[in-house]
Amino acid sequence: MAKREIWHEIVINASSCELYEAVTDVNKLAHWWTTDVRGESAIGEKLEFWFSGFRAAVMEVTTLKPGELVQWHVIDGGAEDWIDTNVEFRIFCDQGKTLLHFQHSLWQEDAKAFPHCSMGWAIFLLSLKEFVETGKGRPHPYDMPINMWSPPQ
């Protein structure tokens, strides 16, 4: 069966080191994605992302290259469409700008959560940009006036 991927690119007015810290430091992840992040950001360790008491995803940290690359592999969680997918944050500096190439890959072709998650990632990447540039992001549950996340029924 064919695989799908979510792919976004965003310019962030900060150094590659500041951006890298925002996607690797557990406390900083909680300032732009979801306020309930648990675990350790080290190769082979696990990160858990919780949304309103729902453990959405457990990621194994697979790659950490300071200022350049962060990769996670989803190994568990209630968002079943995510299991066995990969999340990647690739950081580039180009002509004085810091670019983030985001990819969430290996989705099954029939994954029901794919459109919802693609939109969600776009929103949270804007939150990441806001957090790195201003010090204040919009993590879940503060991401939207009408919260878009709801656990599967």
The chain-wide mean pLDDT, for the chain, equals: 93
Cβ atoms of 82 and 99 closer than 8 Å:
no
Q: What is the pLDDT of residues 35-81, one digit of tens each?
A: 999 999 999 999 999 998 899 999 999 999 999 999 999 999 999 99
| 3-class DSSP state of 17 | helix
Assign domain 3-134 one CATH number from 3.30.530.20, 3.40.50.2300, 3.40.50.2000, 3.40.50.620. Answer: 3.30.530.20
Q: Phi and psi dihedrals of 80, rounded to 5?
A: -60, -30
Domain boundaries, the chain: 3-134
The whole-angstrom separation of Cα 92 and Cα 15 is 10
Q: List beta partners, residue 89.
A: 70, 102
User: Omega of the bond prior to 141 within 30 degrees of 0, cis?
Assistant: yes
Longest CA span, the chain: 47
